[in-house]
Amino acid sequence: MCGRKLVKNGTTSAGRTRWRCTTCGASSTQARSDITGKAELRAFLSWLLDFDKPGELASSARTFRRDTAWCWRIEVPPHHHRRWPLRW
């Protein structure tokens, strides 16, 4: 796109807002990485803590691994004072 102002131009079949450039006429939708990341992290934690199968959380196990690969790089802060005992 040319970088000019975008205006709302209806919605997609999935219900997302469609945007159109007033200069060049190009159309696009805006990605919401915060929402996508939140869903991917929830799926990852569900797999990690609830023992769900990757194929149940995504269209395929390979898709699940690709979409959640970034979750392994999250640094967990040290926990110095436990308020409750860990249960295994």
Q: What is the pLDDT along the chain (88 residues), one digit of tens a residue?
A: 677 788 888 888 888 888 888 888 888 887 777 888 999 999 999 888 988 887 777 778 898 899 999 999 999 887 666 666 666 5
Q: Kindly provide the b/e burial profile for residues 17-37, where b requires at least 16 CB atoms within 10 angstroms of the residue's own CB.
A: eebbbeeeeeeeeeeeeeeee
Q: Say what the pLDDT of residue 76 is.
A: 83
84 within some domain = no
Clarify whether residues 37 and 64 are in a common domain: yes
Q: Say what the pLDDT of residue 41 is.
A: 93
Kindly state the DSSP code that residue 59 receives in the 8-state scheme.
S
Domain extent at residue 14: 1-30
Clarify whether residues 37 and 68 are in a common domain: yes
Q: Say what the pLDDT of residue 58 is.
A: 77
Whole-structure pTM value: 0.56
